[in-house]
Amino acid sequence: MPKVHIESALYERARKAADAIGYSSLEEFVAHCIENELKKLNIEEAEKHVTNQLRGLGYIE
């Protein structure tokens, strides 16, 4: 499973927040945060638009 490095202070803040909110683990909290940010950025949607357009034009399979 991939790992990411974060500053110790941020790690502690995240751990406390995860406890306080009621997440079962820090991993669950971090995954939820990342999911939310990705939704905001709409990256997957953008990727789909680009892929569909390039495929429609015949430039990718």
Partner 1 sequence: MTDAIIIVSGLPRSGTSLMMQLLAAGGIPTLTDHIRTPDPDNPRGYYEFERVKKVKTDRTWLPDARGKAVKMVSQLLFDLPTDENYRVLFMERDLDEVLISQEKMLARLGRPAANRHELKQAFLWHLNRVHKWLLEQPNFAVLRVAYADLVTHPTEQIARVNAFLGERLDEQQAAAAVDPTLYRNRKTREET
Q: What angle do CA 15, 21, 25 make, to 5 degrees?
A: 45
61 near partner 1, rule: CB under 8 A: yes
Smallest separation (angstroms) from partner 1 to the CB of 40: 13
Length of the chain measured in residues? 61
Smallest separation (angstroms) from partner 1 to the CB of 57: 5
Beta carbon nearer to partner 1, 17 or 50: 50
Binders of partner 1 in range 24-53 (CB under 8 A)? 43, 45-47, 49-53
Q: Is the dihedral of CA 15, 19, 20, 22 positive or negative?
A: positive
